[in-house]
Chain A
Amino acid sequence: MTKQKILDLYFLEARHKLIELAAFLDRVERADGQEDFRLKSFRAALGKLKSKQSTTEVLLAFSDLTTKPIAKAAGKGACGAFKK
């Protein structure tokens, strides 16, 4: 596919998602209380958008990069960002 065709297919959708993302960050900024490790990971992931393989880099920014199994599973869920 040409760049032009990809833009024709996905530009509006990507623009919509970018504005949603900006609105999310504004919403967090306006809110009271403390932010947590998830937002820190989020901001780190945003910094990866200019890299060559940005999808992989963004996924890695949220990932647990340790290599050893944990002693015990405390729960079942995942929250989307690794707490260092």
Chain B
Amino acid sequence: MKYIEPHAHMVSRTTDDYERMALAGCEAVCEPAFWAGFDRSSPDGFHDYFCQLTEHEPKRAAKFGLKHFCWLCINSKEAEDVKLAEEVIALIPKFLDQPNVLGIGEIGLNKNSRNELRVLEMQVELAAKHDQLILVHTPHLEDKLKGTRLILEVLKNNRHIRSERVIIDHVEEHTVEMVLDAGMWAGMTLYPETKCTPARAIDILEIYGHERLWLNSACDWGVSDPLAVPKTALEMKRRGHLAGAIEKVIFANPKKFLQQSGKFKI
């Protein structure tokens, strides 16, 4: 069954993972800019990373017939240093015309600090100025509820932001409703221990329906599974979901959202 992986950090994955994803039916992979597991020491580190996402990673994916797209930003874990963030944000506009750049992301909050919030506002403004789609990371575990509320406030307060052009990722049972009620898209991240399991993600689909929701693995350098989306599709099948409903969530929905960028063509 064909699917789109709308959130995967492939720079942290092996070439074997690309092959396994292609074999499982993946048609395209989308890679938001994120924290590398350590803090970069200067804006130059981010410049090189943006080159990796826009020039080099698409070539690695293409070897397995996969289209590669990306999102650019400074992530919330490196946003406590506002001066660094300003310098990194200044680098982004020159990359926005690259053919695989879908928008600004994954911006958001991590510990819900004032500086993180300030940097989030700057990047929402950047997206508004350049008419870019937005992909939002919500905080982990105990910080998710508060962070999601603060993020929604920032987005609603910017009158240039259209809700249907924003996806709020890593939703769980206690945050999905507020995101959908705000008219935005919601992403469910399938992780073995934190975020959603396949069973819980399907529960959410059964409760809230199939509109403006997608599934992603967010596979990265930590404990994560690049095949989490097709495995969840299999679980949906076991639970009696029809092929059309499964295809909508793992292919048609991400395609519909991402096509708004004008660059997502598969």
Spell out A's residues near B (CB within 8 Å): 1, 5, 9-10, 53, 55-56, 59-60, 62-67, 69-82
Total contacting residues, chain B, CB less than 8 A: 30
| B113 within 8 Å of A (CB atoms) | yes
| Interface positions of B (Cβ within 8 A of A) | 35, 77, 80, 110-117, 139-146, 149-150, 172-174, 199-200, 203, 238-240
Report B152 CB to chain A, min CB distance, Å.
Answer: 12
Kindly list the 10 A-B residue pairs having the minimum CB-CB distance in the complex, ordered from nearest.
A73-B111, A78-B141, A78-B140, A73-B113, A59-B174, A82-B142, A63-B145, A55-B173, A56-B173, A64-B146
What is the minimal beta-carbon distance from A53 to any residue of chain B, in angstroms? 8
Known: A73-B111, A78-B139. A59 touches B172 (CB 8 A): yes
CB distance from A82 to the nearest CB of B (A): 4
**CB <8 Å contact, A65 and B77:** no
Chain B facing A: main interface SS:
helix
Q: A9-B239, A60-B174, A65-B146 are in contact. Are A80 and B141 (CB under 8 A)?
A: yes
- Given A1-B240, A9-B238, does the pair A62, B113 have CB atoms closer than 8 Å? no
Q: Of all chain B residues, which has the CB nearest A76?
A: B77
Contact of A73 among B80, B199, B200, B203 (CB under 8 A): B80
Cβ-neighbour of A71 out of B114, B144, B150 (below 8 A):
B114
Q: How far is the CB of A10 from chain B (nearest CB, A)?
A: 7
Closest to B193 in A: A80
Knowing A55-B173, A60-B174 touch, does A70 contact B114 (C-beta < 8 A)? yes
B-side contacts of A80, CB under 8 Å:
141-142
CA distance A79 to B140 in the complex (A): 9
Q: Which residues of B contact A60 (CB under 8 A)?
A: 145, 174
Q: How far is the CA of A79 from the CA of B35 in the complex (A)?
A: 18
Q: Which of B116, B141, B203 contacts A79 (CB 8 A)?
A: B141
A67 to B240, CA, bound (A): 40
Bound-complex Cα distance A75 to B77 (A): 9
